[in-house]
Structure 1
Amino acid sequence: MTTFIQLHLLTAYPAANLNRDDTGAPKTVVLGGATRLRISSQSLKRAWRTSELFEQALAGHIGIRTGRIAREAAQILVDSGIDAKKAVEYVKNIANCFGKVKEDKKPKDELTNAETEQLVHISPAEFEAVKALARRLAEEKRPATEEEAELLRHDRMAVD
């Protein structure tokens, strides 16, 4: 049987409210009979990810969180003169490769249905590959094939 040690540490932070809940109130925890501010690991990780030191050390390898990857491809098609509805159809396979595609019956924006329902994490190299494919599709005026879309997705290429 494996033995685990669980540590609960009190760490002093400067006077700042680093972490709030969905209502805007500070997150708290009662510890040792006293109410203390709580800082979640999610909050700490975000602070690390957005720090200058992190960006300098991992420049060019930091991933992007977006639900609009296929929308960017569709925008390239629209900018090259292809109709917005056609552009959304052309990039449908790209969007499906990264996640479940939005299917808004009455979108406010024509390119909304080129977005994914949830955020996806992609590397800068994957993002450049999507844009390169979109430029090729714009030149050839055709939709992306499933095979082309599958080539875009690479596992664990980005940090973060």
Structure 2
Amino acid sequence: MTTFIQLHLLTAYPAANLNRDDTGAPKTVVLGGATRLRISSQSLKRAWRTSELFEQALAGHIGIRTGRIAREAAQILVDSGIDAKKAVEYVKNIANCFGKVKEDKKPKDELTNAETEQLVHISPAEFEAVKALARRLAEEKRPAIEEEAELLRHDRMAVDIAMFG
């Protein structure tokens, strides 16, 4: 049987611009009948995740949050001489593997429809696999097939994603 220790800590923060809601007002909570400033765990996690110490300690294992992973692949295809519209079609299966693909009727640029609608969390290994597949597609001048795209998602996630979600 595994033993778990759960810690509940109260930490004092200076009354600075800690964390604000969508209207710009500081987040508050009532504790013991008194209104107090509140800082969300999401805000703390972001501060830890973006700290210099965290980046130094876990260099090479920190994930990327992006909606443009397939766009990067499409750009590799375009750089190798493939037409932008064809490049977007070639990477559709890659984009589908990571999320719902944008389908703008009037895209901002030629590669917009190679992006996903939501941000996705990608480990460095997954990002390298996408770039390697894009280079192979550029050489062979063909679209990615579903089976290839499914291999891009790895069980090994980036450390920051594993720690903070």
Name the TM-score, length of structure 1 as normaliser: 0.90
Q: How much has 1:6 moved relative to structure 2?
A: 9.1
The RMSD of aligned alpha carbons is 2.5
Q: How much has 1:34 moved relative to structure 2?
A: 2.0
Distance (whole Å) between structure 1 residues aligned to residue 8 and residue 28 of structure 2: 15
Deviations 1:33-86 (A, max 9, x none): 222111001011111111122112211111111111001101111111211110
Distance (whole Å) between structure 2 residues aligned to residue 106 and residue 151 of structure 1: 31
Deviations 1:3-35 (A, max 9, x none): 999987542113421211112221111222222
| Count of aligned pairs | 160
1:7/1:31 Cα in 2 relative to 1: closer, same or farther (>3 Å)?
farther
Partner of 2:71: 71
Distance (whole Å) between structure 1 residues aligned to residue 121 and residue 129 of structure 2: 14
Q: How much has 1:121 moved relative to structure 2?
A: 0.7
1:110 matches 2:116:
no
Distance (whole Å) between structure 2 residues aligned to residue 55 and residue 2 of structure 1: 31
Secondary structure of 1:36's counterpart equals: strand
Unaligned runs of 5+ in 1: none
Q: How much has 1:157 moved relative to structure 2?
A: 2.3
Percent identical residues: 99
Name the TM-score, length of structure 2 as normaliser: 0.87
Deviations 1:103-140 (A, max 9, x none): 11111211111111111111111101111111111121
Distance (whole Å) between structure 1 residues aligned to residue 93 and residue 34 of structure 2: 54
Unaligned runs of 5+ in 2: 161-165
1:57/1:8 Cα in 2 relative to 1: closer, same or farther (>3 Å)?
closer
Distance (whole Å) between structure 1 residues aligned to residue 5 and residue 124 of structure 2: 38
Q: How much has 1:158 moved relative to structure 2?
A: 1.0
1:7/1:159 Cα in 2 relative to 1: closer, same or farther (>3 Å)?
closer
1:72/1:5 Cα in 2 relative to 1: closer, same or farther (>3 Å)?
closer
Secondary structure of 1:4's counterpart equals: coil
1:3/1:129 Cα in 2 relative to 1: closer, same or farther (>3 Å)?
closer
1:7/1:103 Cα in 2 relative to 1: closer, same or farther (>3 Å)?
same
Q: How much has 1:94 moved relative to structure 2?
A: 0.4
Distance (whole Å) between structure 2 residues aligned to residue 59 and residue 5 of structure 1: 29
List, as ranges, runs of 4+ consecutive aligned residues in structure 1 with deviation greater than 6 Å: 1-8
